[in-house]
Chains A and B, each alone.
Chain A
């Protein structure tokens, strides 16, 4: 296999260009741009009015936070269905702290993040030590957290005038034309994206998701990494809870219901493989952006409410189907490449172990295409 993981003979630049052109991220970004363009054509205010521009950037910020956290978990071949309930609980906590205490805004937000992290930690510990599928564990905690929320809040509701104006203004204010909450989401996205792409811990998350058994054999600290992923997801859900309180100015006990599926959907649309080991937070964030923008754009385009969910569903199914087709095509190419190998080996058996990397560009010119397809496995594409 190692032979196929070597880059093709093309220059680094063309390789990067090819990778970008093939990437799911670009595809999602293109769909997003087309969607925005079409909607703006229909109603200029969608992009060009001050409110339209703000909403375009602001609305996805909450889901981006959730999708980023969800991606970290999905990459490890797990899933976190409890984020919606976590978001609800922390949103309510935020409101309660403003009512019951005089803590400054930043402390309240940190409390929300901390509470989210603790709830995520519970998930992580149960998944890592219980050896029960995360789907089941987080389905359970989804209901438990929601139950705790309902018991705590009852019929109580946090209203706009319960929260300080400065906090609610965070939900709409902009800096240099970019909403504050969007900046927060982008900072988180950048930090997590950088970590997953470069840090050892981040790469190990991919390794664990690609092949848990191999990761364990290799001596990776699987439990610690998985717990970390859940803590991250919980903390970001906590932050999203505070964001939700700031933006909507109301917290009732239904806040965040069903948003966990949007988060998973965003990640899947953005190219994060549901079986782990592959995908980026950039893709997930774009997926979140697309999902939210579709929901906002369809009514403007005059497509009935009843169809909106169907369109989102079709998008998810389409994304998965596309993934499947790409995987099949790639498998075919890999098989073809493998079948090609022996013939080239036959000409120079003695060079067998080193041939591929030592091959001259001239030698590789023929199978260059399959070879470049082989770069994908390095990215962990299964």
Chain B
């Protein structure tokens, strides 16, 4: 039958409508009985999102600090890490509830400013940690690390691991990544000044892509047979490089360090590919943020130049732009990596 065609082309493209309704989860704003009531005050932590191991770790530190000084800890936050509107909602609620202080990791530098302004108008101090807003819309930012500290820690690690001499290379993220380039420049300066026997032979870019970083590591090893070490100041890069090294002839011979997270690196620290790597300790970050919030709430500090006690971490002074610097990066190795889960 030649002319038995012409069926109805039923257009089913409407199925495309994938309604990804991100209902801003109706959270249980936990301790509504606790405000004003407890003498230490109620401190509200608003991380970028809930269920994120990194913030679980840092906020556990915050909770520990609040317990130490006898306050009440509460944590609220959006389900998604790119949801400033969700955070605004929680800031507004906390403001109405008259919390003692807010500790926020901002999902957006600008979008939260109005809500934070309302909180500050109600005499509620606002501390940002991990991710800052614009400096003029919060009280104090608790900074996890500064560029010099990050560069110094990585240079120290690689110098120690390769015996302070030999060829090393950098495995960076994107060629135009500002922070990466700043760190690498600082590391180069530090190496030139204090480690004359270490020669930087190459800087390659993995674009924070597993495969590209992986291949870039392979290429580095082939191009520089005498390579002694690789420094990768990016979490994706160091994990990919570790994965490559762990399965190659160079395992253990070529040292690898940089900035990584314990969960990503656990396997490679345990199998001996990586001796030690750096990052800040998020637990300490949350701990310090809580103490900063308390100092603000108690009126002990107001801004730049003021000092306060932060429990077991000791004394801190508020620096330029009203920031508090946590300190030198934390070094993870086989002995302590199992204490962390993020």
Contacts and interface: CB of A to CB of B under 8 A. Distances in A.
Given A130-B12, A147-B18, A159-B266, A46 B222 contact: yes
A170 to B, nearest CB: 11
Interface stretch (A47-55, A183-191, A348-356, A361-369): A47-55
Greatest chain A CB density within 10 A among B12, B209, B236 is at B209
B332 interface: no
Main secondary structure, interface of A, reads: helix
A199 interface: no
Interface string B185-211: 000000000000000000011001111
A81 B172 CA distance: 29
B215 A295 contact: yes
B208 A160 contact: no
Nearest to B249: A51
Given A126-B12, A296-B215, A248 B240 contact: yes
A305 interface: yes
Contacts of B218: 51, 55, 59, 296
Nearest to A45: B222
Interface in B228-283: 236, 239-240, 243, 247-250, 263-264, 266-268, 270
Given A51-B249, A248-B210, A299-B204, A157 B264 contact: yes
A231 to B, nearest CB: 16
Contact of B20 (A49, A131, A147): A147
Contact of A159 (B10, B15, B267): B267
B9 A129 contact: yes
A215 interface: no
B129 interface: no
A52 B216 CA distance: 13
A295 B212 CA distance: 9
Contacts, number: 120
A177 interface: no
B267 A131 contact: no
B233 to A, nearest CB: 17
B195 to A, nearest CB: 25
A43 interface: yes
A224 B248 CA distance: 45
Nearest to B14: A130
Contacts of A175: none
Greatest chain A CB density within 10 A among B2, B79, B205, B247 is at B247
A170 B266 CA distance: 20
A220 to B, nearest CB: 12
B175 A306 contact: yes
A250 interface: yes
B52 interface: yes
Contact of A129 (B11, B209, B215, B267): B11
Interface in A32-58: 43, 45-46, 49-52, 55
Given A131-B11, A172-B247, A250 B210 contact: yes
Interface stretch (A7-15, A252-260, A322-330): A252-260
B168 interface: no
A126 B215 contact: no
A160 B210 CA distance: 12
Contact of A59 (B15, B205, B215, B240): B215
A142 to B, nearest CB: 12
B267 A249 contact: yes
B12 A160 contact: no
Nearest to B2: A219
Interface of A: 43, 45-46, 49-52, 55, 59, 122, 125-126, 129-132, 137, 140-141, 144, 147-148, 151, 154-155, 157, 159-161, 171-172, 216, 219, 244, 248-250, 252, 254-255, 257, 295-296, 299-300, 302, 305-306
Given A155-B54, A252-B236, 11 more contacts: A130-B12, A144-B18, A154-B49, A160-B243, A160-B266, A160-B268, A172-B247, A250-B264, A252-B210, A305-B204, A305-B205
12 contacts: A43-B225, A131-B9, A144-B18, A148-B18, A157-B264, A160-B264, A244-B211, A248-B214, A249-B239, A254-B209, A299-B219, A302-B223
